[in-house]
Structure 1
Amino acid sequence: YTPSLTATLDPLPFGLQPKFAFAVGKFSASVSYRMAEDDSGNFVGEDAILSVAYLDKGRFEFSSTATYQGDIARTTSGFLTPLDLSNSLSFTAFDAYLTIGEKSEYSFEDNAFDQFLVSAAIPWASVSVQGSGKPNDPVFNLLDADVTIEAFEKRWWKNRISLGLDITSAYRHSFWDASASNFSFKINLAFSIAEFLTIDFALTTVNKGFHRYSDFDDMWQDLLRSFDFSGDGRSNTQFTMEAVELSVIHHMADWDLHCKYEGSVVLSDLEWRWNPVFTVFLQWKAIPEIKVDRQFDVGH
């Protein structure tokens, strides 16, 4: 049980917000009511807030917040009209392989969702849908899908030298504006020598003309042309380079030397320009790695 009182003082309008919170195990709840001084010097009720949550990390998580707006309650006769409801739900299945989630904000004044998001994810892919509107006639706005593939990882010399390649692709589909849909493709190459050197190289390309393809085969051929650095393929593709990152870290006994290059396309003076940033810095290993041994004795 945790009671509290929050006060707002000058120069802001004077106000008070008592709150009572309760928690037991994985369940928690709180209720608060804010009162503030209006222009005539009278105290009026503003927002009454009730929150409940149940959190079982990695299995089931639920939270809900109901806000009763005092200013709307004073100008309307409907009891539920001033109520706004915000919910969040997430649960896992198949030994946490699949995660399903939902977030929404519902207005009883409009009898509609201000926004909602439904998502599903597995370790290497995710998909989500955003929308709004009435429960019996929802309006879908965006569809997002992401896929991450660890193409390969190779190790040599007692696992002290490694080379890895990751590929990440993301697609955003706009239900209202086809030109706002885009497809991005990122390649990340990593090379490391234990306690000596780490090199990371990432290249991101994006396609904002995805709606022009008639089939997926056209898209993949267009993607291959975007990596044609020797010919004119890159000038005949919908894919454009969005960002390049190169990071080199030299590991030493007490220091790490970081050299990093980042280049991205930015909008400046109504023109798209390439913006390169080069960074060099030393990082001091002030606190060395600490090895902790734990031993538990259980008596019977």
Structure 2
Amino acid sequence: MKFKVSAELAYEVKAPSTLILNVHALRTARQTVLQEELLIDPYIKAEELPSTNGENRFVRLDITEPGEFSIKYEATVDNYYEIKDYRSFQEVPVSRFDPAVLTYLNPSRYCQSDKLYRLANNTFGQINNSYSQVVAVTEWIHKNVEYLSGFSNSETSAYDTVTQQAGVCRDFAHLGIALCRALTIPARYFTGYAYKLIPADFHACFEAYIGGEWILFDATKLAPLNGLVKIATGRDAADAAIASIFGDVYCNYVKADCQMVEDEPFNPIYYTKSVFDGVTYL
């Protein structure tokens, strides 16, 4: 399934600064970047930074002169999605986790799983299947947290979202990650482009490590799971920010979009439930 994604950003620079962008579509075993272009006006040299774990494609811009500049990124991406039945999968014990996965069991800046241990285990601990636990977490967040555009800020954490019971996609993702980690299920942040997201924007959700694989979940249910194009993953939003600014720089404009390239039938995939009986239907 092919998608055309794009991002447009505009900045005003008051003094020499450095900007690290994170808008490039990620290359993975299931996501192929067929074509892409990055345009910067006026021209600024862009350096793509190597990713140690293959979880992002950071681009660094060193801006030496004050002024305004704009960035436009476009790419055509071919994605492959697979539906699996995880109701009777083989659990992988922590002792057999790949070492790279272990970091996603720990609390992080926005995902204080240690503070949510009691809530997670009292609410979901009786479910004896990790996949069904994560689906139950997703459904619980969707039911108990109200999506309110602009409600939270860059300091809002999963613990804040539980108490305030409102947030944006970033907050839904952080809460899902924190509750999964409290249940000893590795989970990581996902940011990407989203097809059929209204209004069009960058989107955040999360992945849980189940049966030796990373599985995608979205508690907002604002975009179909098979309409997401991955940009980056990380422990939380601090690892996968669209832009990290070092210096006197102000963002004046942000726009993201995702459209299908081919005129082919699109059958959206969402998780639905019956949850607490341990069965989830796709």
What band does the TM-score fall into relative to the shorter chain?
under 0.3
Larger Rg over CA atoms: 1
Greater relative CO (CA pairs within 8 A, separation 6+): 2
Specify which structure has the higher proportion of helix: 2
Normalized against structure 2, the TM-score is what? Answer: 0.22
